[in-house]
Amino acid sequence: MEKHAASALNGSALQDFSSVHVLDDGRTINDFIDDKIKTLQSEVSVEGSSTLLHPLESVIDRHQQWLTLLPRVKPFYAVKCNNTPAVLRVLRALSTGFDCASKAEIQMVLNLGVSPDKIIFAHTTKPMSHIRFAAAQRVQTMTFDSEEELRKISLCHPKARLVLRIAVDDSDSLLRLSSKFGAGLGLVEKLLGLAVDLDLTVIGVSFHVGSGCTESQAFQRAISDARQVFDIAMSLLDIGGGFSGRDDFQVKFEEFSDVINAALDKFFPPDCGVQIIAEPGRFYVESAFTLAVNVIAKKNCEESGPGGQMMYYINDGVYGSLSCIVNDPAHPPVQLLPHRVNTPPWGVGEVRHRSVVWGPTCDSFDKVSDSAMITELQVGDWLLVHHMGAYSVSLICDFNGFERAKVFPVVTEETRRLLELRHTSA
């Protein structure tokens, strides 16, 4: 059986991981998922909430991959992508920095004991109260992309270390950002001039190629643009985020890192004295969460042809963990897999029906799939959806009063030891 990490770790980095489960010898994450679903099935209120199962090693593996492939780039994890306490605590133990978008995110990260100099306030259009809060908390580094933002910062945080976000070509990304953020190259000179007039310090340049980037050369182009506007007095380059966290994504992280390393060596060689950071979000967490949902109702629509068209209603949907279906163009279509202990999700020769799967709310917009090919399910059955870590938990709302998914972080003994080790050597 799994032990409670809090009691097992005594004073380690994980002592505040109050709901982390530690796997005993030989038990795998799949065993944990099976056991967890078995436990939930025996609970009276089982259909109330869906469940997100979160193996922490997935985040650690990603970090290891990042350090190996992008050794010159320090990651500042984008908290907006997934603000689950276990994720933030693991990343703190791994000594990453944090990209925060608001006062609340800054507070959340500071509460973990992260030093303010490991935070970048990476939002270019901030409420003044949030800028004042950053100043009071000694969070110095923040982005801007307009004259008005510079004037607000000069009023609220005149000692800030500013990073100019430029708009870059994001046409190869599934979720484009440059229509909303980033100064065009033509505006840069004016902005830097105003910063001088206001006696503000601009330390560097940032960009974001868009989330779910499908073309590694986008980084080459953006780093080259950043070089063009980089001033002699600057010391920081921030290459943003955009990397998928899925191994089956169309462009591998290895390809991105090859292009980025080559572009950095060309435009910002190692001896140039420039610190290079990034703001990856989905890269770290996308594959670190599996969602388990329960079938709460079912209908057979006879009129839809032979076998009928089945309609299922599950206990999570687009107002909950599955909001990516409508909000996140960078999320591939969700795949619903029946949960079965010790057998593959699909048996040989089993008939699958085209099925409509609805979320739990009284809203027809809350549709999870209108063409899921699945075997017939019964009320009470469970379905699994993998790769549910990015822009899922952080977007859940309480519409219709359905419970939020419960998150169950889990570590193997080996990972627990690794985190302890990193903590004591930090």
Question: Would you please indicate which residues are annotated as catalytic (active-site) residues?
Answer: 362
Q: How far is the CB of 285 from ligand PLP (least distance, A)?
A: 9
The Cα-based distances of 171 to 113, 167, 282, 397, 409 in angstroms read: 38, 12, 19, 30, 36
Pick out residues in 109-128 that bind ligand PLP (CB under 6 A). 122
Structure tokens at 40: 């939930």
Among residues 33, 37, 53, 81, which is the contact residue for ligand PLP, using CB under 6 A? Answer: 81
| Degrees to nearest 5, angle at CA 153 with 205 and 78 | 50
Q: Output DSSP code: residue 405.
A: P
Size of the site for ligand PLP (CB under 6 A): 16
List beta partners, residue 206: 165, 238
208 is a site residue for ligand PLP (CB under 6 A): yes
75, 97, 280, 359: which one binds ligand PLP (CB under 6 A)? 280
- Reading the block at residue 386, the tokens are 């993998």
Q: Which residues of 404-420 are buried (b: 16+ CB within 10 A; e: fewer)?
A: ebebbbbbbeebbebbb
CA atoms within 13 A on the CB side of 58: 25
Report how far residue 369's alpha carbon sits from residue 328's, in angstroms, rounded to the nearest whole number: 15
Q: Which residue is nearest to ligand PLP (CB)?
A: 241
Q: Is 281 in the site for ligand PLP (CB under 6 A)?
A: yes
Contact residues for 34 (Cβ-Cβ < 8 A; gap 6+): 339, 341, 342
Residues 139-198, interacting with ligand PLP (CB under 6 A): 177
> Closer to ligand PLP at the Cβ: 359 or 389?
389
Applying CB under 6 A, which of residues 49, 211, 294, 415 lies at the interface with ligand PLP? 211
Instruction: Taking each helix axis as running N to C, give the angle between helix 57-69 and helix 85-93, from 0 to 180 degrees, rounded to the nearest 10.
Output: 40
Q: Which amino acid is at 49?
A: S
Q: Minimum distance between the CB of residue 141 and ligand PLP, rounded to whole angstroms?
A: 13
Nearer to ligand PLP, 12 or 58 (CB): 58
String marking each residue 216-255 x if it binds ligand PLP according to CB under 6 A: ------------------------xxxx------------
Tokens of 365: 């917009």
Instruction: Look at residues 265, 243, 292 and name the one whose alpha carbon lies nearest to residue 62.
Output: 243
Q: Using the rule CB under 6 A, is 338 a contact of ligand PLP? A: no
Measured from the CB atom, is 221 or 406 closer to ligand PLP?
A: 221
Taking the least distance from each CB to ligand PLP, the nearer of 13 and 203 is 203
- Minimum distance of ligand PLP from residue 283's CB (angstroms): 6
Shortest Å distance, C-beta 224 to ligand PLP: 20
The amino acid that residue 213 corresponds to is C
Q: Residue 100 Cβ, how far from ligand PLP at the closest point, in Å?
A: 10
Per CB under 6 A, the list member of 78, 163, 222, 383 interacting with ligand PLP is: 78
Contact stretch for ligand PLP (CB under 6 A) within 36-44, 62-70, 275-283, 295-303: 275-283
> In sequence order, what E strands does 5-137 have?
21-23, 51-55, 73-78, 97-100, 119-121
Binder among 36, 63, 282, 423 for ligand PLP (CB under 6 A)? 282
Report how far residue 123's alpha carbon sits from residue 115's, in angstroms, rounded to the nearest whole number: 19
Q: Which residues are near ligand PLP by CB under 6 A?
A: 78, 81, 99, 122, 177, 208, 211, 240-243, 279-283
